[in-house]
Amino acid sequence: MTINNALYSSRSEEWPTPQQFFRTLDHEFHFTLDPCATRRNAKCRRYFTKAQNGLDQDWTTHRVFCNPPYGRDIWMWARKCFEASQGGALVVLLAHARTDTRWFHDWV
């Protein structure tokens, strides 16, 4: 697999998930919610946009595919994923393995 150079740019914190990658995961997990989406890139029938703020929504009855914005606030998404999983949701978080960060140790 080739790493896309755009991943090293800071033009945006939002990256759409490649459809084939999502399909592979969805085949195993059967996702019902995409909490970090736009109308154009939503991966699930049920999704939340930035305006709806997925962090403020209830995920506990869902099978969640979370590809959060990659920025300083990623810790909030990691925490939300952890808390939702404790409440009964199945959650897959797509995030960098930042094992040297506090959020990774606290929530992943």
pLDDT over 70 (residue 7): no
Distance CA 5, CA 2 (A): 9
pLDDT at 98: 87
pLDDT at 70: 85
pLDDT at 90: 98
Which band of pLDDT confidence, cut at 50, 70 and 90, is reported for residue 71?
confident
Alpha helices by DSSP H, listed for the chain, are 19-29, 74-86, 102-107
Q: Give percent above pLDDT 90 in the chain.
A: 74
C-alpha distances in Å from residue 54, one per residue of 34, 45, 47, 76, 101: 9, 14, 8, 11, 23
pLDDT over 50 (residue 9): no
